[in-house]
Amino acid sequence: MKKVLIITAERTGTGHKSSSNAIEMKLKPLGYDVKQIDAFPLMGKTGEKMEASYIPLTIKHPNIWYASFKFSQDCTNTLHNWIYLKVKNRMLKEILDYEPDLIITVHSMFNKAVSKILKKNHLYIPLYVVVVDLVKPPKLWFNKDADCTFVPTKLIYEDYIKKGMDESKLIESGFPVRSDIAPRKTPKEITDKVNILLVNPSVNLNTNIAFAKEISKVKNANINFICGRDEELFKALNEKIESGELSKDIKVHGFVTNMNEFLDNSHILLTKARTKHDVRSC
């Protein structure tokens, strides 16, 4: 059986993990053995802290997050080299232990590190990069050393060609979406109550609470609020419900693995206006 190793991330907004799951769901029925690994812990304590800080920084300190993003854009090679030094030993062990026939990276920060590890250790394993940013991907994604790069849009495809990527190594593939999350072919009829789904619709805690209060005014409705990994929001909403500030009719959920069921049962979806989230949800 052919083995595929997917390099991903668990806690950077869950988008990379969702894309990785979609790829795995496509490969397993074809007879592939698939293993996913979260690359951040392979950097040691530093990587764990980086991954854990993603949501708090984007929500509470967006300026700090933007400064780090700008550094990655301005000093891309410096960051790639630093990541390689932090991850090389643990990443190499994962590769040698699993002995994959193919490696797929679904996170921009580890593309060049994997390429360098393979080259320096004379490991001839194909490396595929799956870009999961729809419009203007960060520079960290671009890797000429990869055997194949999958991009979601024609815009990125043409941009990468202009930047010198070999056209034979570039595929416009669309965005990886789980096969159990499919577009509804016919409108969902409302026979009794309207089912409303909120998926962490704002990066601001107070705004999310305000959304919940307004939505709870809708009569004859089933309301589900999914917080994902936002533990602060999950706690705050439950406290509001216990104190009577929010209706007990609102069902609050943390991180869920059956998003397809929530989407399929809902008439109305309220979520962030973020391209990756919208593609996975619609």
In the chain, domain spans? 3-172, 194-281
Each residue's pLDDT tens digit, 17-45: 888 988 998 899 899 999 999 999 999 99
Closest CA to 144 of 120, 165, 159: 165
In the predicted structure, residue 194 carries a pLDDT above the cut 80: yes
CA gap 270, 222 in Å, rounded: 14
Q: How confident is the model at residue 188 (pLDDT cuts 50, 70, 90)?
A: low
Residue 227: the pLDDT is 84
Helix or strand or coil: residue 194?
strand
Residue whose token pair is 């991009």: 151
Each residue's pLDDT tens digit, 86-98: 999 999 999 999 9
Each residue's pLDDT tens digit, 228-245: 877 888 888 898 888 888
Closest CA to 227 of 43, 14, 60, 2: 14
Closest CA to 241 of 213, 274, 219: 213
Residue 39: the pLDDT is 93
CA gap 240, 236 in Å, rounded: 6
Provide the whole-model pTM. 0.75
Provide the token pair at 32.
């592939």
In the predicted structure, residue 13 carries a pLDDT above the cut 70: no
Q: Strand pairing of 194-199 and 221-226?
A: parallel
Q: How confident is the model at residue 109 (pLDDT cuts 50, 70, 90)?
A: very high
**No. of helices (H) and no. of strands (E), the chain:** 10, 10
- pLDDT averaged over every residue in the chain: 85
7 class by beta-carbon count within 10 Å (0-12 exposed, 13-18 middle, 19+ buried) = buried
Strands (E) in the chain, as ranges, are: 3-8, 33-38, 102-105, 127-130, 148-151, 170-172, 194-199, 221-226, 250-253, 268-271
Q: How confident is the model at residue 280 (pLDDT cuts 50, 70, 90)?
A: very low
Q: What is the mean pLDDT of residues 53-70?
A: 80
Architecture of domain 3-172: 3-Layer(aba) Sandwich (3.40)
Contact 103, 114 (CB under 8 A): yes
Q: How confident is the model at residue 273 (pLDDT cuts 50, 70, 90)?
A: low
Please spell the DSSP secondary structure of 145-187, one letter per residue: TSSEEEESSHHHHHHHHHTT--GGGEEE------TTS---SSP
Tell me, what amino acid is at 137?
A: P
Q: How far does the chain reach from its first CA to its final CA, in angstroms? A: 34
Contact 199, 271 (CB under 8 A): yes
CA gap 46, 49 in Å, rounded: 5
Helix or strand or coil: residue 211?
helix
